[in-house]
Structures are given as C-alpha cells and as structure tokens.
Amino acid sequence: MPLPKAELHLHIEGTLEPELAFELAARNGVRLPYGDTDELRKAYQFEDLQSFLNLYYELMAVLRTEQDVADLANAYLARAAAQGVRHAEIFFDPQAHTKRGVELGTVVEGLWRALGSSEAEHGVSTRLIMCFLRDDSAESAMETLRAAEPYLDRITGVGLDSAEVGHPPVKFREVYEAAAALGLRRVAHAGEEGPPAYITEALDVLGVERVDHGLRCMEDPALVERLVRERVPLTLCPLSNVRLRTVDVLADHPLPAMLDAGLMCTVNSDDPAYFGGYVGDNFDAVRSALGLSEDRLRELARNSFVASFLEDDEERRER
C-alpha cells in the first residue's frame, strides 16, 4: 500500500503522456512534428527550464475541447490514486490556452468534468489553482483574473509559473492584491532557477502561503531560518530538478539537508509525463537515492496534508 499523500505541485498540462498526445492529435486533426511516441519521448532531453517549457507549450496544441481536458485530468487522477494520492491541488495555465484560441471556460469546464467526480471515481479530493505565466505581462495576468471571476466557485487559488529568471514576483503585486481581495489563496513558483531574493519577494510582496520549489533558499541561511520559523511549506519536485538540471544527480538533492534544517518540505511531481514519474515515483526515487528513512517519508506525506488548502476536519479525514 503506497503512503497516503497529497500532491500540491502538479501542472495538469504536464501530465500529457505521449500516447494521449497522439490520440488527441488524431481526434482533433492536429499534426505533431514527431513521427510516433518513441520519437516524441526522445525529445524529452532538457537543458534547463526553458527548453522544457518550449515542448510543454508546443504539445498543448492537441488540447482543443472540454472532453480533451477532461480526458487529460481523468488520466492523471487515476494514476495519482494508484500511487496513494488522496488529495490533489492542481495547477493549470489559462493563458497558455487562451493565447491559442481555447477559451478559459472550455478549460475550466473540462477540468470540472473530471474533478467534479474525482472523489467518487478515484477517491481523490481536489482543488484548482490558476497560474499566471510570469513571462507574459502583468496586464495579461490581470485580464486572466478578471476573466476567471465567473468560475471562482471552482478555483481555490492563484499561482505563478513559467520562465522565472528576469520575471520577479514584484511584477505581479497588483494581480496578487486583486486575487487576495477576491478571497483566493496564493502560491508562487520561486527559487527554482531564480535567486533566493525571489522567494523573499513572493512572501513579502505577493503574500504567498506556500512556495513552489523554493530550492534555492538553501543559498541564504537567514531565509532558511525565516521559512522554518514561519513554517512556510515548500513544494519540492526532485525528479523535475534533475531533469531540468537545477540539481546534477538525485543523490545531490538538498532534500535531506532541508529536512534537517527544519523546513516544511513536501514531495511532488511537477510535470510527471515529462520528468519520468508521478508523485509515488518521486517518493521511491528519494527513498533510494537519498536513503530517507521511513520516518522521514511519513513526515513528507504528513506535511503534504498539513500544507494543503484542506480545512482541518477534511485534512484529518484524508490522512
């Protein structure tokens, strides 16, 4: 029996497996510049975050209809459930769809077809977090927030993702203020490729409750002390860090040092179709490469529920 856990850092578009990509391409008459799934898989060699993002955005072309999005989300939920996930807080990237002519409503309704029945079908409770693309403008993010207002009964929070360096959190100050005024929870990617100062800024300027990745906090002892003191959860993604070369090999991952420092770490999959594994695979990988004890693994699983946006009573039930 896999450890019961919550997944808090998962881009639904990053769960698009090559087989489903080709199936949806055929369904929608979209031509992919790859002969077959093997050829596509060979393209999964990344130099850095940007080289991954290029492929991630390119393959989204196959997602056209509500049913496509529902099929994608259902496939993720089934895989996650099989790896012990009881609760998933799922990111999606509205602007990556609207800029290619797929409406926000199509994406949200499609996600809801799968998420609305997820507890009954998969035993997985869910929340939805809408991310802004930080390499797009703050105006575009604000327009996206306004366009999402009719769907706010389905959206728990906002996040910030895509190319990090050169796009500091402060760029989105007003958008996050507006999101807070709408009662939305706030998270942001920070300290994946970007400097520790982006983590501080995400906390102080955007008011985030969790930091996605946050890996580079380890370069700033005062920041580590603060994150420990304030019990700020970090949603780490070990296999992603290796594939995107922020860490050379898994055996060098700072997770053990982060836990020893008292940081509230969680383990997640980020974009599992691209990075070689779902959340249970990430747990297995850190167990074997880093020699984490069963107690440490249980701590990581427990942290995932504590750091979630579940209410206390829901959290206890899931654990």
Binding residues for substrate: 271
SS3 10: strand
CA separation for the pair 158, 142 (Å, rounded): 11
CB neighbour list of residue 149: distance below 8 Å, 6 or more residues apart? 182
User: Strand pairing partners for 160?
Assistant: 132
CB neighbour list of residue 140: distance below 8 Å, 6 or more residues apart? 95, 132, 133
Least CB distance to ligand ADE at residue 193 (A)? 8
106 vs 269, which CB is nearer to Zn ion? 269
- Residue 213: how many other CB atoms lie within 10 Å: 27
Give the up-direction half-sphere exposure of residue 307: CA atoms within 13 A in the CB hemisphere: 33
Buried b / exposed e over 184-196, threshold 16 CB at 10 Å, is bbbbbbbbbbbbb
Least CB distance to ligand ADE at residue 271 (A)? 5
Q: What is the DSSP letter of 248?
A: S
14 vs 214, which CB is nearer to ligand ADE? 14
Least CB distance to ligand ADE at residue 229 (A)? 26
- Quick check: is 89 catalytic? no
Query: Which span sits near Zn ion by CB under 5 A: 76-84, 163-171, 201-209, 266-274?
Result: 266-274
| Residue ranges of the binding site for Zn(2+) | 9, 11, 189, 270
CB neighbour list of residue 252: distance below 8 Å, 6 or more residues apart? none
User: Cα 117 vs. chain centroid, distance in angstroms?
Assistant: 21
112 vs 274, which CB is nearer to ligand ADE? 274
Nearest residue relative to Zn ion (C-beta)? 270
- Residue 33: how many other CB atoms lie within 10 Å: 8
Q: Which residues bind ligand ADE (CB under 6 A)?
A: 11, 14, 49, 56, 161-162, 189, 192, 240, 270-271
73 vs 310, which CB is nearer to ligand ADE? 73
Least CB distance to ligand ADE at residue 8 (A)? 13
- Residue 84 binds what, of ligand ADE, Zn ion, none (CB under 5 to 8 Å, by partner type)? none
Least CB distance to ligand ADE at residue 295 (A)? 28
Nearest residue relative to ligand ADE (C-beta)? 161
Query: Which span sits near Zn ion by CB under 5 A: 69-77, 129-137, 270-278, 302-310?
Result: 270-278
**One of 236, 270, 277, 315 touching Zn ion (CB under 5 A):** 270
- Residue 192 binds what, of Zn ion, ligand ADE, none (CB under 5 to 8 Å, by partner type)? ligand ADE
First to last CA, the chain: 14
Interacting positions 26-45 with Zn ion (CB under 5 A): none
- Residue 14 binds what, of Zn ion, ligand ADE, none (CB under 5 to 8 Å, by partner type)? ligand ADE
SS (H, E, C) 133-194: ECCCCHHHHHHHHHHCHHHCCCCCEEEEECCCCCCCHHHHHHHHHHHHHCCCEEEEEECCCC
Catalytic residue among 7, 17, 109, 192: 192
109 vs 270, which CB is nearer to Zn ion? 270
List of residues contacting Zn ion (CB under 5 A): 270
Catalytic site positions: 192
